[in-house]
Structure 1
């Protein structure tokens, strides 16, 4: 998805206790860090993150187009579950490696992670353009494995770096950068849809790879790590907020001590709210991407005109830009207070709009509204974890949450493929019922977590 500091307006009394006794005399200095909360340099970092998410999530959000083209042209002998597993692997590696990547970012920043991830991401797309018909393993390696690994090296530090520059306005900053995934999800499908008939699949993907390359080069230039993590070399930020000046912790164990604390931070599981966040993440990510993967195929099944059905994924991602308005509300009313109703609305949309939809208009309306409300959970989840974490713990903890998302994404979309195994009589109704019920179950867990934060209805968290 790092060093996001605990939001003052969201902080509970139990979170004020130092997590390590040796840091007790340093916490006051760390908590007094001043954040720019804006300015040219800070917003340039957000712009770089916007481009990073455009390049990675733009491709991932286009998988509905890839899935349809794979099933009809490149992999006609493969089942829907097998083809869905390729996209699921992207998500699994993107989220599954986040605990380690987040911890590395906590220790070393983005200087190495971003360039390395950019190179791997572009190479994976170039290799995808060379994959041969019915050679399923080639698509798994290029589009699933390699792209997923490259994407997580870009995505995790791109999201986490917002915590170096924003505190109170963090949900808004993350919301702005997250619109990059939506814009990418509009542009990339259109690139594929328009270029494949003219120049073929290979060159269409290569053009997209060059677009991704340009975005990631700008990201590497503009994204900067501002705060020196406490866990690196036993240092703590007690100097000027923007200078990254630190002093060595008394008796610090240095870099080896930081690594002995583990590549994966499991301390968050002592907090019931964090455990519920992980449970909700697993349930929701199990079904969250199913509409994105299958709505285009469903539109064709309902005989929607091809001029509309082939752009339905782009329509969804275009509408998702409007979720930025919900991020504004999160700054004013609290992150969890916006997440809970958004997920509930998403489940209702699946059952009340997508399930009975038969024509172009209801399908497009569902896709647009679903993209707005369901994406709020992805966008605001890091800010929620930041409310339960101290600065040097955020990267590892958000990585743990993303790991649950990774496992759920890996098994969720192939499960959907099992519902749609018969192309002549696919079980879309069963798939929609399953998706809607899972959303409602996830919203129940979120309500319980919200109650644990506070039983006051208007409490800001």
Structure 2
């Protein structure tokens, strides 16, 4: 199939039961605003060899080793991001007990901000140099951050060690690992990316339980060091296995966000949807343990609720990703956002102070919000050429990073303004997801069409 025949092919109204071709050239979403529809991509002849064409492997040993390496790198990087509630609850009761929730929240918001904002450089650099020279310093920073975290006693210590060193290291491991998977899969990209990002959720199960078990036995310092040694092993696997499947880009742009591509309505609303989603996502991930303690649950249960949430997220990153390859990536992310809204407003808000209520919320929110990490990269990738993915991803998540920067402190300030009550935090979280649903629906409409029963 020629590249010209594929222009706008993803904007087609395909029946839900019509499969994609297993060998598929990269679609061009940027050259035409209203391309003529192609009813069935399989009807066109395959013609290879032009410089604008790219055929995805869609599998094979090398491709799946990249997915496994990405899984390990996600375990080491996003596993920390999914352990924020354990760190927040512990240091709020110990090292930083004299600080307010919003002040402590800045430690974790700066961490998440840098984890995504560093994509401003990492995305385009990945396009030019590939992943190896990014993941090596990333692994070093993440491991160093964990080894030093145990000796932090002052507020600024946590900012430097956890927020800055840990945040930059997470970005250097996380961003190339997501982008590399996109080089090997298109038809099955949702499945592959979901499997890879499930590593971060698995880290959110293992690391909080590891800390809960080790802190009473060996203390906080050695518990974080042991966690750092585990991250070292996982980072090495990621560094060795994550590879690019494209030659260096000769037309790579400056490593800065390209705000001009926001003129594309579909991409603009997708960015807005991602922003609102991430604005809300890290609020429960940071405050769920403190919320449980405030609600009267014992300390052991309060620290275990985060691994329960992360366990739901393991399946939420893999299963929706696989199913999105069947019904469409934008369709699936809309469905999971609806499920997230239900978990917040129908379960957490009225029943979160009961054991069944908070457990059901944790599982349901973990499952539905798990797609926030696994589906947003593939949705962004569906709006651009494969060789431009780093630039689009960097632009999107540089903007989204400001949501990560402000969401957690805003939620902490809401808790403080409500006298320690968490109902305002819950409403803030749910409202952000409602706005995200609207934005993603508009993005889907501009890019794929407004019909409900269509694969996109």
TM-score by length of 1: 0.87
Alignment of 1:253-402 (within 5 A): 258-259=252-253, 261=254, 263-323=256-316, 324-357=318-351, 358-402=353-397
Answer whether contact 1:7 1:386 (CA < 8 A) is retained: no
Residue equivalent to 1:67: 88
Answer whether contact 1:104 1:263 (CA < 8 A) is retained: no
- 1:267 is displaced (CA, Å) by 4.1
Take 2:56 and 2:288, find their aligned partners in 1: how far apart are those partners? Answer: 42
- 1:164 is displaced (CA, Å) by 1.8
- 1:8 is displaced (CA, Å) by 8.5
Take 1:183 and 1:400, find their aligned partners in 2: how far apart are those partners? Answer: 28
Take 1:459 and 1:18, find their aligned partners in 2: how far apart are those partners? Answer: 20
Alignment of 1:179-198 (within 5 A): 179-198=198-217
Judged with a 3 Å threshold, the aligned counterparts in structure 2 of structure 1 residues 437 and 264 are, in CA distance, closer, same or farther, namely: closer
Answer whether contact 2:28 2:385 (CA < 8 A) is retained: no
Does 2:22 match 1:15?
no
- 1:34 is displaced (CA, Å) by 2.3
Alignment of 1:50-449 (within 5 A): 50-132=71-153, 135-229=154-248, 231-232=249-250, 258-259=252-253, 261=254, 263-323=256-316, 324-357=318-351, 358-421=353-416, 425-449=419-443
What do residues 313-333 of structure 1 show as CA deviations (whole Å, max 9, x unaligned)? 001101111112111110001
- 1:17 is displaced (CA, Å) by 2.9
Take 1:143 and 1:204, find their aligned partners in 2: how far apart are those partners? Answer: 15
Answer whether contact 2:65 2:242 (CA < 8 A) is retained: yes
- 1:278 is displaced (CA, Å) by 1.1
- 1:433 is displaced (CA, Å) by 1.4
The runs of at least 4 consecutive aligned structure 1 residues that moved more than 4 Å come to 6-9, 11-14
Take 1:14 and 1:93, find their aligned partners in 2: how far apart are those partners? Answer: 31
Judged with a 3 Å threshold, the aligned counterparts in structure 2 of structure 1 residues 15 and 123 are, in CA distance, closer, same or farther, namely: same
Answer whether contact 1:10 1:460 (CA < 8 A) is retained: no
Take 1:50 and 1:320, find their aligned partners in 2: how far apart are those partners? Answer: 14
Judged with a 3 Å threshold, the aligned counterparts in structure 2 of structure 1 residues 16 and 117 are, in CA distance, closer, same or farther, namely: closer
Judged with a 3 Å threshold, the aligned counterparts in structure 2 of structure 1 residues 91 and 457 are, in CA distance, closer, same or farther, namely: same
Take 1:336 and 1:38, find their aligned partners in 2: how far apart are those partners? Answer: 23
Take 2:200 and 2:255, find their aligned partners in 1: how far apart are those partners? Answer: 31
Q: How many residues align?
A: 421
SS of the aligned residue for 2:58 comes to: coil
Take 2:106 and 2:428, find their aligned partners in 1: how far apart are those partners? Answer: 18
Answer whether contact 1:90 1:145 (CA < 8 A) is retained: yes
Take 1:377 and 1:97, find their aligned partners in 2: how far apart are those partners? Answer: 19
Judged with a 3 Å threshold, the aligned counterparts in structure 2 of structure 1 residues 262 and 98 are, in CA distance, closer, same or farther, namely: closer
SS of the aligned residue for 1:209 comes to: helix
- 1:18 is displaced (CA, Å) by 8.3
What do residues 316-360 of structure 1 show as CA deviations (whole Å, max 9, x unaligned)? 101111112111110001000001121122122111100012211
- 1:169 is displaced (CA, Å) by 0.7
Answer whether contact 1:282 1:405 (CA < 8 A) is retained: yes
Residue equivalent to 2:19: none
Answer whether contact 2:28 2:384 (CA < 8 A) is retained: no
- 1:377 is displaced (CA, Å) by 2.5
SS of the aligned residue for 1:29 comes to: coil
Structure 1, unpaired ranges of 5+? 1-5, 20-25, 235-257
What do residues 77-116 of structure 1 show as CA deviations (whole Å, max 9, x unaligned)? 1111111111111110010111210000011101210101
Structure 2, unpaired ranges of 5+? 1-5, 13-26, 34-46
Take 1:163 and 1:431, find their aligned partners in 2: how far apart are those partners? Answer: 35
What do residues 137-161 of structure 1 show as CA deviations (whole Å, max 9, x unaligned)? 0001101111001111111000000
Of 202-211 and 440-449, deviating more is 440-449
Take 1:262 and 1:433, find their aligned partners in 2: how far apart are those partners? Answer: 37
TM-score by length of 2: 0.88
- 1:422 is displaced (CA, Å) by 6.9
Judged with a 3 Å threshold, the aligned counterparts in structure 2 of structure 1 residues 88 and 131 are, in CA distance, closer, same or farther, namely: same
Take 1:150 and 1:38, find their aligned partners in 2: how far apart are those partners? Answer: 29
